[in-house]
Structure 1
Amino acid sequence: MAGGGYLRYVALGDSQTEGLGDGDEVRGLRGWADRLAELIARDNPDLRYANLAVRGLLAGQVRARQLAPALALRPDLATVVAGVNDVLRRRFDADEVAGHLEAMFAALTAQGARVATLTFPDIGRIAPLARPLAPRVVALNARIREAAARHGVAVVDSAPYPVVTDPRIWSADRLHAAPRGHALIAAAVAHALELPGSDDSWTHPLPPDPTARTGLRAVGAELRWAGTFLGPWLVRRLRGRSSGDGRQAKRPELLPISDPTSHPID
């Protein structure tokens, strides 16, 4: 449905789609999917939007827990973004992860939904300590592109653009986009869907950063990040816990966007 005439949008995924890094637990999380819904609602005020995403889920868990509820909502637009949590696990099988994503692509498109997804940036350029995971991201991205092509799914292929690894679009934990990053993702998906007013400006690099860390300052920043974020994450993994344990979707029903102008894309 080129041109953005969507009426029922359902977002499936993990923490990025839930909106971590954009808002907080007190005021509520916004995130790129909320921002995309706001963009659509500017031209289609009758849009109804549901967000089934829950942080910490693997791709297979997203499929198991969210696909059936999504199909029951009969969306004409769906976004499916998952797989980063799989990349971070000790055991990783790109074919298995892509298989879960493709099953969701197939089921949603077979029901008539327009579907969009993302590829993932080079984790090692965001968090240098994660460089050994870069081949996993490359492998998963290749399979996402192939699966999307088989089902006519729109792909935001962010990997080739340096802006997606600019530290200024990432939150302090380097796993979740900051508000600026969530706005960029929403603009990128809008462009992939050919929404009115969208363009490729999201691919443009940000202006030079005079505060960028280099040398010892950069090493110090890495060590602080490891102690503040990487360490606690590893402890959760060793204990078999997930950040999403006991959590439910923040917006499980299709609801109107109350005021699409209340949160400008910044």
Structure 2
Amino acid sequence: MIVLKPCFQTAIIMSIELLSIGEAARRMHLSIDTLRRWDKAGKFPAVKKSGKRFYRLEDIEKYLVKLGIAETDIFEIAKEWVSIDSASEPSDSFYCQNSIVFQYRLKKLENEIGVVAGLEDSFPLITSIVGEIGNNSFDHNLGNWPDVPGIFFGYDIRKRVIVLADRGQGILKTLKRVKKELASDEEALRVAFSEVISGRAPEARGNWLKYVKGIIVENDVRLFFQTGTAVLELKKGDRSLNIRKERESIYGCIAVINF
């Protein structure tokens, strides 16, 4: 058995490349709060030095390789962000702090998706859906963001998935301004996708969802949408709304578009 002398052990530890928690969060597309929570739970342990958390580059690279294989990686990151009680801003890779940033990234998506074989005819519809969902997150939460302003916006063209999320007021609170009788997230989501409510902001939130529904039921696009505990999955040909109640509630809304 070989016993390493303390000085040699220290040299080995120092040779391991360590990253600060901020840099690790940026590379992993996670929030610093998430990494702290994962460390406490033992899910992704940190290296403690002088009371601070550091992360091995090797561990981060292994995580990213594993993430690249997962089919729902972007969704999992967004779902984590809208599920926790106290959140910080998402990674810069996904964070649109205002509508100007969102419009810039939406145009970038349009340029990238427009050259994909087989999407020449459908890409304007796809970006239209994304634009409606993202813009309305800003329109109906302007000046009323509960905690983190702005939206999460990520996509993987290779896997043909786009994810948007916000930690806003949610559809129920928005629609109760004009339909005070609404009592649940499920009821509010059904109204938003099926009834003409009002042309005035901010109550018009439900009308843009009917526009999104109209595109999806006529084209090869699928939508997963959750607000609070209410979940709707919509695809081509769906005329009825199959809304279910999830056990776990989220803050604001999250949408996943598959094309």
TM over 0.5: no
User: Which band: TM-score by shorter chain?
Assistant: under 0.3
Q: Given the two structures, how large is their TM-score scaled by the length of structure 2? A: 0.25
Structure with the greater relative contact order (CA < 8 A, sep ≥ 6): 1 or 2? 1
Higher strand content, 1 or 2: 2
Q: Given the two structures, how large is their TM-score scaled by the length of structure 1? A: 0.25
